[in-house]
Amino acid sequence: MAVSSELVLQSSDLEKLSVPKVERRWETYNHLFGIKDLKNIYLAMRHGESEANTRRITASNPAYALCSFGLTDFGIRQVCASINAQSFLDSSTIICCSDLLRAKQSAEIAANELGVSDLFITPWLRERFFGDFDALDYVEYFHHIHRRDNEDPISSYCNCESVVSVQKRLSEGILQCEKEFSGKKILLVSHHDAIQILECVFSKTSPGFYAGSPDAP
């Protein structure tokens, strides 16, 4: 799967997802349960190609990912192309981004292209932490992690951040946006696994069923 920084809409379209029968304890971790209508329009954009992507490794530990593994030249061009290929977002857009370097750089480029003056940089949009697998070749182990996620979304297999934990912080972040803004277009600049789990947050489906793929976060 190629690295992409394309915009991904996520709202009512996701409610049609088919999910397996899994234990539903994960519902208590999704703070959007019980909320029928959101006050804002949310879109997600994955960061452009990063140095970690070219090396096929995860870079989920903030101890180093806050200041390293930034965008490649191609990644910079990806973000510019993605923003300039759309007409929905404009200078009134609210941009929230992960504080990991590759996402922050992507958000800064998006803001510059759109004419947005301020960014909201936040840890709740960080990539999922991959525990013992961090900094390793993602292709070698992703099948094992996502199989465990599907079987038990609460599992912290090999010290990985559980998908329900990611779901919890993402849904809490959306709730905070709902408190602070109304009637806004909000662009969330984040990471591979985090965005797919975010889709499950909006569609109110098990985060263990997100479509993981062999592509470095």
What tokens does 60 get?
A: 């989920």
Comparison of pLDDT for 217 and 82, the residue scoring more: 82
Distance of alpha carbon 26 from alpha carbon 155, whole angstroms: 11
pLDDT at residue 11, as a whole number: 37
pTM reported for the whole predicted model: 0.86
DSSP state of 6: -
Least confident of 40-54, 65-79, 203-217: 203-217
Yes or no: say if 191 and 98 are a contact pair by the CB < 8 Å rule: yes
User: Which residue is associated with the tokens 């934990």?
Assistant: 165
CB-based contact 119:105 (threshold 8 Å): no
Q: How confident is the model at residue 90 (pLDDT cuts 50, 70, 90)?
A: very high
pLDDT value at residue 91 = 98
Does pLDDT of 92 surpass 80? Answer: yes
Q: How far apart are CA 61 and CA 191, in angstroms?
A: 13
Other beta carbons within 10 Å of 91: 9
Q: What is the pLDDT of residues 93-103, one digit of tens each?
A: 999 999 999 99
pLDDT at 79 over 90: yes
Which residues lie below 8 Å from residue 168, measured CB to CB, with a gap of 6+? 29, 30, 31
Query: What are the residues whose beta carbons fall under 8 Å from the beta carbon of 20, sequence distance 6 or more?
Result: 150, 206, 209
Residue 187 has pLDDT above 50, yes or no: yes
**Domains of the chain, with CATH numbers?**
7-14+23-209 (3.40.50.1240)
Q: How much of the chain exceeds pLDDT 90, in percent?
A: 71
pLDDT > 70: what percent of the chain? 86
Q: What number of CA atoms fall less than 13 Å from residue 108's CA on the CB side? A: 11
**Mean pLDDT for the chain overall:** 88
Distance CA 156, CA 76 (A): 34
pLDDT reported for residue 13: 37
